[in-house]
Amino acid sequence: MKFVITSCIALVAAIAKVNADCFSTRLGYPCCSSWNKQVAYTDNDGNWGVENGNWCGISNQQSATGGQCTGQNQGYQCCNGCKVEYTDNDGKWGIENNQWCGIKNTCSSSNNNQNQNQNQNQNQNQGSSSSGGGSAPSNPPKVTGGQTGKTTRYWDCCLASCSWSENTNAKHPVNACQKDGKTVINNFSYLIGSACSGGSGYMCSNNQPWAINDNVSYGFVAAGFSSGSQKDWCCTCQRLEFTSGPIAGKQMVVQITNTGGDLSNNHFDIQMPGGGVGIFNGCSSQFGAPNDGWGERYGGVKSAADCSQLPTELQEGCKWRFNWFKNADNPSVTFERVQCPKELTDITGCVPADDASAKKLPW
């Protein structure tokens, strides 16, 4: 009997310890398995992981431990060598046999850190400055084995459809903003009404594109695909390589924040201020834009000089079209899904539930 009582006490103590370490149970989410140390998202509550497509909480003890190398607990092989090709929040990565591999913890850090810092500084110096930040190689690897698609452009100021919790599998939907385009609406316990349909929610003004360097940009899109549903697409990221027009060969990493009934299969509608409001126009109520928006309703303004018609906070994204994008008219693309860069998810607040399983960016 003493053994049974002692065992019960130990079990209760163990459960109490797990619950104390794993914050997510009080929020209605399970704790991650002990082997899962991959942090997919971090907020004020703690570190979150993903298992079987569902969010789970990573305990403080799990976060403090790791495998023999970066990514081992995610199923990646350890590198044989110590050459660092890429560094992210997970750790240091190498490439061997054309596959990503994790740098071993036993590798000397001094030379690797020096090389990595040199590479990062070189990439940043090659790129133009932007408020969104980020770094990428000036000659990024080509997209291989991807699908083909097309692009258009728009900026309608309307609340993005991925701002509704029911439209995404992510823990947090895309940020919505008040009329000023800056103040984020934080209460997602109810459906936020779009200003384009009588509500008060608008697209946030920071959802505009920016250049990392001459050949790579980051930004946001509305999208439609030949398979799946909006709930599968919302907040996922794609690497686009343009294959036609004056920007052929350039690349753009985009996060999907919206969709629309007018979008066809493998269709990316790039958000760029002054790109045309299209079907809906929330810019008139938000910024006092003309009835058809700035410039033509479909197509937008005609030149960089016309960007002066837009509010100051939208002019950089408008000029991006005539600078980095070279005023390309609906170029075609080859694309592949990738893990979302932190620079994009920091803006939208939305991280796909299965983001950790997506292909890493090759830089």
Domain residue ranges of the chain, discontinuous segments joined by +: 2-63, 72-126, 147-357
Are the folds of 2-63 and 147-357 the same? no
Instruction: Say if residues 276 and 297 touch (Cβ distance below 8 Å).
Output: yes
Does the domain spanning 147-357 belong to CATH 3.40.50.740? no
- Alpha helix (H) residue ranges in the chain: 2-21, 60-63, 109-126, 230-233, 283-287, 312-322, 342-348
Active site residues: 156
Output the tens digit of pLDDT for each of the chain's 363 residues. Answer: 444 444 444 444 443 333 445 788 887 788 887 666 677 677 777 887 777 666 788 876 655 555 678 877 666 788 888 988 777 767 787 877 756 788 888 885 434 444 444 444 333 333 233 457 888 999 999 999 999 999 999 999 999 999 998 899 999 999 999 999 999 987 653 467 899 988 899 999 999 999 999 999 999 999 999 888 899 999 999 999 999 999 999 999 999 999 987 788 999 999 999 999 999 999 999 999 999 999 999 999 999 999 999 999 999 999 999 999 999 999 999 999 999 999 999 999 999 999 999 999 998
- CATH code of the domain made up of 2-63: 3.90.1220.10
- CATH code of the domain made up of 72-126: 3.90.1220.10
- Alpha helix (H) residue ranges in 161-302: 230-233, 283-287
